[in-house]
Amino acid sequence: MINILIADDEKPIADLLKMGMSKAGYHCVCVYDGNSAIEEVEKQPFDLILLDVMMPGIDGFELMEYIKDFNIPVVFLTAKTSLNDKLKGLHLGAEDYIVKPFEMLEVSARVEGILRRHGKLQDIITIDDLEINTSAMTVEKSGEEIILTKKEYDLLLMFARNPGIVLYKQTIYENVWGGDYPESTRTVELHVQRLKKKLDWSDKIKAVYTVGYRLVVSP
Partner 1 sequence: MNFRLRLIISFALLISIAFGVGGTLLISSAFYSLLKEEQSAIINEYETLHNNLIMVNYFSSFDSDEKMNELIEQMSERNMAHWQAVSLEKSDGVILQKGDQNLLSYDLQVEDQGTYGYVLINEGEKRRLLLCSELETDNDILSLKASFDLSSAYINRDNQLRIFFVIYIVVVAVGILVAVVCANLLTKRLQKLTEAAREIAGGNLSMRTSLRTGDEFEQLSRDFDAMADQLEDNIKCLEEDVERKENFMGAVAHELKTPLTSIIGYADLIRQCNLEEDERMMAANYIYSEGQRLEKLSYKMLDLLLMDKDTFTLRETNIRTLMEQVYVATYPLAVKKKIELKVESDRVNVAIEPDLTKSLLYNLIDNAIKATPEEGRVKVSGIGIEGGCQFTVTDTGYGMEKEELSKITEAFYRVDKSRSRSQGGVGLGLTLCSRIVELHKGSMEFKSKPGQGSRVVVRLFGELQEGDA
Q: How many CB atoms lie within 10 A of CB 140?
A: 15
- Give me the least distance between CB of 123 and partner 1, in Å please: 26
Of 92, 102, 174, 198, the one binding partner 1 by CB under 8 A: 102
Calpha distance 129→96 (Å, rounded): 34
Please say which residue, 38 or 166, places its beta carbon nearer to partner 1: 166
Please say which residue, 100 or 116, places its beta carbon nearer to partner 1: 100
DSSP E strand stretches across 53-120: 74-78, 96-99
- Give me the least distance between CB of 118 and partner 1, in Å please: 25
The interface region with partner 1, picked from 58-66, 75-83, 185-193, 195-203 by CB under 8 A, is: 75-83
- Give me the least distance between CB of 104 and partner 1, in Å please: 6
106 binds partner 1 (CB under 8 A): no
Q: Restricting to residues 158-177, name those near partner 1 by CB under 8 A.
A: 164-168
Q: Name beta bridge partners: 167.
A: 213
Of 2, 38, 54, 92, the one binding partner 1 by CB under 8 A: 54
Q: Mark residues 55-74: x for contact with partner 1 by CB under 8 A, - for none.
A: -x------------------
Size of the site for partner 1 (CB under 8 A): 26
Instruction: For strands 144-146 and 138-141, give the pairing.
Output: antiparallel
Q: Given CA atoms 24, 26, 29, 32 in this order, what sign does their dihedral have?
A: negative
Of 9, 59, 140, 189, the one binding partner 1 by CB under 8 A: 9
| DSSP 3-state of 84 | helix
Of 10, 62, 131, 189, the one binding partner 1 by CB under 8 A: 10
- Give me the least distance between CB of 137 and partner 1, in Å please: 26
**Amino acid letter, residue 124:** I
- Give me the least distance between CB of 2 and partner 1, in Å please: 18
| DSSP 3-state of 190 | helix
Count Cβ neighbours within 10 Å for each residue of 75-112 and write b for 16 or more, e otherwise.
Answer: bbbbebeeeebbebbeebebbbbbeeeeebbebbbbbb
Contact criterion met (CB below 8 Å) for 50 and 22: no
Residues that bind partner 1 (CB under 8 A): 9-13, 15-16, 19-20, 23, 32, 54, 56, 79-81, 100-104, 164-168
